[in-house]
């Protein structure tokens, strides 16, 4: 059996969800979600502005709009190449830019290093692993492994240098797992996650989860959810958004009461401290307490966990009837 093709897109999908990588590598195609499309546009715009910045510094920048002949890269005649399509065996990546390191650095490397343009203000491990995947593909194509890469990110287009060796080791392991998974007749176990909301396969996975009789739903956690509903991150409001919160809360409690599967809910107890001195915190504390009571009334079991020690507040079975102690 021939080795499966692993593109940067499939690797990116694997970092988000193993099922998504499986669907993509087996050639399943869906229309991208609206939110995912918007993120893509933001990233494309950011890439363009980063390229402009580089061009103002390096006059000999070269665009590789097609997969780049390796001889062109190996010739080393360009200081920087944008949109660099690299294919090496089963691996393919379209690298935002590769830059030639012309002098021996502390990292003892001379050659091309990968650069990624990431609009996020804060870099995640996900961003760094994608850079490492680019470096891994580049190393297979050129025969030398870059020891460093760069990520330009955020509104100020800050550039950080990333040491690649430990990340490339992780990439190798992940790539092995993707290969094993892709050639397996069985898809990986479905685990709904935070990426589902913008995933193109969400309708399919939702239907599978609803059909499943063994699905376990983890809601983690109610506390952050309350604050997101009362003070939506994307909305500038002067005050609390009660209408949104009450609608969401009532829908959640109705769904929980109707749910026949297993659900684990994480929440926080905020009523054991002093009464907060500002109105917003008092609203939050009250809403959290009322929600905890409503959820606990529906749930079969409730535990309070302190220092990792669970204390059962509501047992699934009622305790045995007490018998009066016979005093002498």
Nearer to ligand SF4, 39 or 202 (CB): 202
CA 197 to chain centre: 11
Interface map 11-40 toward ligand SF4 (x if CB under 6 A): -----xx-xx--x-----------------
CA distance 115 to 61: 14
With binding defined as CB under 6 A, does residue 190 bind ligand SF4? yes
Minimum gap (Å) between residue 23 Cβ and ligand SF4: 6
Owner of token pair 């379209």 = 94
Segment interacting with ligand SF4 (CB under 6 A) among 46-54, 199-207, 277-285, 299-307: 199-207
Window contacting ligand SF4 (CB under 6 A); options: 82-90, 150-158, 195-203, 280-288: 195-203
CA gyration radius for the chain? 26
**Shortest separation between residue 261's beta carbon and ligand SF4, angstroms:** 16
In the complex, least distance from residue 311 CB atom to ligand SF4, rounded to whole angstroms: 34
Q: Closest distance between ligand SF4 and the C-beta of residue 4, in Å?
A: 18
CB of 208 to ligand SF4, least distance (A): 8
- When the beta carbons of 79 and 202 are compared against ligand SF4, the nearer one is 202
Beta-strand runs (E) in the chain: 6-7, 62-63, 80-88, 91-101, 111-118, 148-153, 158-163, 216-220, 262-266, 302-306, 309-314
* Alpha carbon distances (Å) from 74 to 6, 79, 105, 142: 23, 12, 20, 7
Q: Which residues contact 246 (CB under 8 A, 6 or more apart)?
A: none
CB 6, min distance to ligand SF4, A? 17
Nearer Cβ to ligand SF4 (94/202): 202
Q: How many CB atoms lie within 10 A of CB 129?
A: 20
Contacting residue, 132, 148, 167, 205, with ligand SF4 by CB under 6 A: 205
Please give the Cα distance from 2 to 20 (Å, whole number).
21
Bridge partners (DSSP) of residue 160 are 151
Among 195, 215, 240, 294, binds ligand SF4 (CB under 6 A): 195
Is residue 164 within 8 A of residue 147, CB to CB? The reply is: yes
Q: Please, which residue, 70 or 215, has the CB nearer to ligand SF4?
A: 215
Stretch of 158-166, 196-204, 266-274, 303-311 contacting ligand SF4, by CB under 6 A: 196-204
Among 199, 222, 265, 283, binds ligand SF4 (CB under 6 A): 199
Nearer to ligand SF4, 190 or 296 (CB): 190
Task: Assess 202 for contact with ligand SF4 (CB under 6 A).
Answer: yes
**Residue 258 and residue 252: Cα distance in Å, rounded?**
10
Neighbours of 255 (CB within 10 A): 10
Stretch that binds ligand SF4, among 74-82, 175-183, 193-201, 303-311 (CB under 6 A): 193-201
Find the shortest distance in angstroms from Cβ 137 to ligand SF4. Answer: 24
Between the alpha carbon of residue 35 and those of residues 197, 225, 303, the distances in Å are 9, 20, 37
How far from chain centre, in Å, is Cα 158? 22
Residue nearer to ligand SF4 on the CB measure, 17 or 50: 17
SS3 state at 111? strand
Q: Is 182 in the site for ligand SF4 (CB under 6 A)?
A: no
Number of residues that bind ligand SF4 (CB under 6 A): 14
Beta bridge partners of 302: 314
By CB under 6 A, name the binding residues for ligand SF4: 16-17, 19-20, 23, 190, 192-193, 195-196, 199, 201-202, 205
């Amino acid at each position: 059996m021939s080795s499966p093709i692993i593109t940067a897109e499939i690797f990116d999908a694997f970092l988000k969800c193993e099922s998504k990588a499986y669907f993509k590598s087996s050639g399943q195609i869906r229309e991208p979600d609206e939110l995912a499309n918007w993120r893509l546009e933001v990233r494309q715009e950011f890439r363009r502005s980063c390229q402009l910045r580089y061009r103002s510094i390096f006059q000999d920048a070269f665009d590789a709009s097609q997969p780049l002949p390796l001889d062109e890269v190996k010739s080393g005649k360009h200081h920087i190449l944008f949109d660099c399509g690299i294919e090496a065996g089963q691996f393919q990546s379209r690298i935002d830019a590769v830059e030639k390191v012309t002098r021996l650095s502390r990292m003892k490397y001379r050659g091309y290093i990968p650069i990624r343009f990431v609009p996020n203000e804060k870099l995640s491990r996900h961003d760094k692993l994608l850079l490492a995947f680019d470096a891994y593909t580049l190393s297979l194509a050129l025969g030398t492994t870059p020891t460093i890469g760069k990520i330009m990110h955020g509104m100020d287009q800050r550039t950080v240098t990333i040491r690649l060796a430990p990340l490339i080791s992780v990439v190798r392991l992940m790539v092995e797992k993707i290969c094993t998974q892709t050639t397996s007749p069985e898809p990986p176990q479905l685990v709904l996650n935070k990426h589902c909301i913008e995933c193109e396969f969400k309708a399919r996975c939702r239907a599978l989860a609803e059909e499943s009789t063994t699905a376990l739903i983890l809601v983690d956690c109610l506390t952050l959810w309350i604050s997101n509903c009362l003070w939506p991150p994307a909305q500038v409001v002067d005050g609390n958004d009660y209408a949104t919160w009450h609608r969401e809360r009532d829908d959640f409690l109705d769904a929980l009461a109707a749910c026949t599967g297993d659900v684990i809910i994480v929440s926080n107890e905020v009523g054991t401290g002093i009464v907060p001195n500002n109105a917003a915190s008092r609203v939050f504390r009250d809403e959290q307490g009322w929600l905890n009571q409503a959820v606990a009334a529906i749930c079969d079991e409730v535990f309070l966990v302190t220092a990792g020690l669970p204390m059962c507040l509501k047992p699934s079975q009622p305790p045995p009837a007490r018998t009066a102690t016979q005093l002498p």
